[in-house]
Structure 1
Amino acid sequence: MTGDSLPSDKQMRLRYAGTCHRCGASLPAGVLAVYERDARRVRCISCSESGRDDENSAGDVDLGTAGASARREYERRQSSREERIRKKYPKLSGVILALSDEPQSTSAWKQGAIGEELLAQRLSTLPESVRTLNDRRIAGTRANIDHIVIAPSGVWVVDAKRYRDRRPELQVTGGILRQRSESLRIGGRDGTRLVEGVTAQVAHVRNALADPQLPVTGALCFLEADWPLLGGSFVVDGVHVLWPRLLVKQIRSGPDRKIDVDAVSARLAKAFPVA
């Protein structure tokens, strides 16, 4: 190791082109550089030998914490409910809180946070050439993007859903005499709103990249769902509907388009800050 290299850093010849997170220099595949395993980013040898502190470098990318904003909202709602009950029933509040269930509108935030956290664990098994931005805020809206995965094959916009024991299905209507129509059903219920949400997120990411040559794919990833033993995944209105293991497999198996993962990650991290 040289300069300020840490035990988790590795000096190596890059398998993929990248960008030094400190100085912004382009690093072509095959060049000697330092790979920072914990942050999953690279820096050039010159910056390593200079010994400069990179903690507040403008090139740093905050990968975010999966489920952080959903967990904050859950804790806010939980605390607000507890406070209301204690004020209204000062003597019985402890019993009421112990015996009553949280409203579904509150517990849904907790389930959402857990789903994002579980999916982030699965995404962490992707190759070192991949970056994942977690829990990103869409400026000017109240919406978040759960995960943006930047791989050599392209960008994936992923919405995590933890719908336990409910089966996602593709419903097809129409055909020969009527216009064919496809929709998402989850445990028999209409899931059109979820598909539309991912479609809107994909549009935001494409606009931020402003590069029509860079593929952006939307995905609804269902955790702990009632998937069939054979098949089960499908695409509806351009959005992939699948489970975590298959999502990781598809990201891995995509064609290598020689995308500068570090540069794209930095651009998207700036456009979509941590929520």
Structure 2
Amino acid sequence: MTPVDQVHGLSPQVMYEQFWLKEAAQRRKMTGVKAAAGLVVGVALAYRFNLSAPVVGLLFGLLVGAGDMFWNWRTHDATAVWRGKRRGDVITGKLLRRRLRRRGYHILEGRAVPGKASIDHLVIGPGGIWVVDNEAWDPETEIARYGDRLFLGEKYGSKVAKALVEVSESLAEVLSRESGIPVTIEPLLAVHGGVIRRSVTAEGLTLLKPRLVVRWILNGPRAEFDESQVEVLARTAARVLRRMS
């Protein structure tokens, strides 16, 4: 059986995992080479500054080797959601709850918007309201803005952006009507995997890494709700949005 036959019909995720395992020996070899280079540099620095060459050299070698191993692990772990090993909504949800609840924000999770698609997280707090969804792309997909258009790799991201923008607008209309408090809602998309530099805003949608979502919310308030208004909006949202099973 040829290599082409072996991978024919396999999903990109399975192929990625197979290649990752196949290249494990090569990664270990390269880690050893880098650690050896670190050892040499450490010894050279030790002689330069009259330090203990064996100790400094060994320390540099261990640090370089450990750093390379950590980088390899982190690169692989970044694809966990795309590979189906972890859930993006769980990762983002933990970040939102841990850092926003103590600041007076309410987080509703797994809700269905009437007449629209479901949302992963709805954040309501003193600074405004945000819809936060999650998506995963393969490690080669570059997420960027060119002109006014959103691109996901070589494809337009208009469909992704339009869906979340429409959900946010529809939900803002419902909450404004049911609560009596005029609101606007900003859509955010937590990106798991792919290639993205911090954040990308295009076609009404902001895409960013999960760890940056909380910072974006806290640094960019869109409203000034008092405690009673936040409570009314949170209770209204909990009432009108059906919890997904």
Per the normalisation by structure 1, the TM-score is 0.51
Q: CA separation in 2, counterparts of 1:109 and 1:169?
A: 19
Q: CA separation in 2, counterparts of 1:243 and 1:102?
A: 25
Q: CA separation in 1, counterparts of 2:240 and 2:82?
A: 25
Partner amino acid for 1:264? L
Q: CA separation in 2, counterparts of 1:196 and 1:112?
A: 28
Indicate which of 160, 163, 167 corresponds to 1:197: 163
Matches for 1:156-235 after TM superposition, within 5 Å: 156-165=130-139, 166-172=141-147, 182-210=148-176, 213-228=182-197, 232-235=198-201
Could you say which residue in structure 2 is the equivalent of 1:151?
A: 125
Q: CA separation in 1, counterparts of 2:89 and 2:107?
A: 12
Q: 8 Å contact 1:132–1:149 — kept in the other structure? A: yes
Partner amino acid for 1:201? V
Partner amino acid for 2:122? I
Total equivalences in the alignment: 160
Q: CA separation in 2, counterparts of 1:110 and 1:208?
A: 36
- CA change 1:253–1:113 in 2 (3 A) is same
Could you say which residue in structure 2 is the equivalent of 1:244?
A: 210
Q: 1:111 deviation in Å?
A: 4.1
Deviation string, structure 1 residues 94-138 (Cα, Å, up to 9, x no partner): xxxxxx86799xxx9984981111111221222321111111112
Q: 8 Å contact 1:183–1:236 — kept in the other structure? A: yes
Could you say which residue in structure 2 is the equivalent of 1:135?
A: 110
Deviation string, structure 1 residues 24-51 (Cα, Å, up to 9, x no partner): xxxxxxxxxxxxxxxxxxxxxxxxxxxx
- CA change 1:189–1:208 in 2 (3 A) is same
Q: CA separation in 1, counterparts of 2:82 and 2:234?
A: 27
Q: Which contiguous aligned blocks of 4+ residues in structure 1 show a shift greater than 3 angstroms?
A: 100-104, 108-113
Q: Percent identity?
A: 23
Q: 8 Å contact 1:111–1:162 — kept in the other structure? A: no
Partner amino acid for 1:197? A
Partner amino acid for 1:222? V
- CA change 1:212–1:194 in 2 (3 A) is farther
Secondary structure of 2:207's counterpart equals strand
Gaps of 5+ in 1: 1-99, 173-181
- The question of 1:115 aligning with 2:88 is answered yes
The structure number with the bigger radius of gyration is 2
Could you say which residue in structure 2 is the equivalent of 1:81?
A: none
Per the normalisation by structure 2, the TM-score is 0.57
Q: 1:192 deviation in Å?
A: 0.9
Q: 8 Å contact 2:169–2:184 — kept in the other structure? A: no
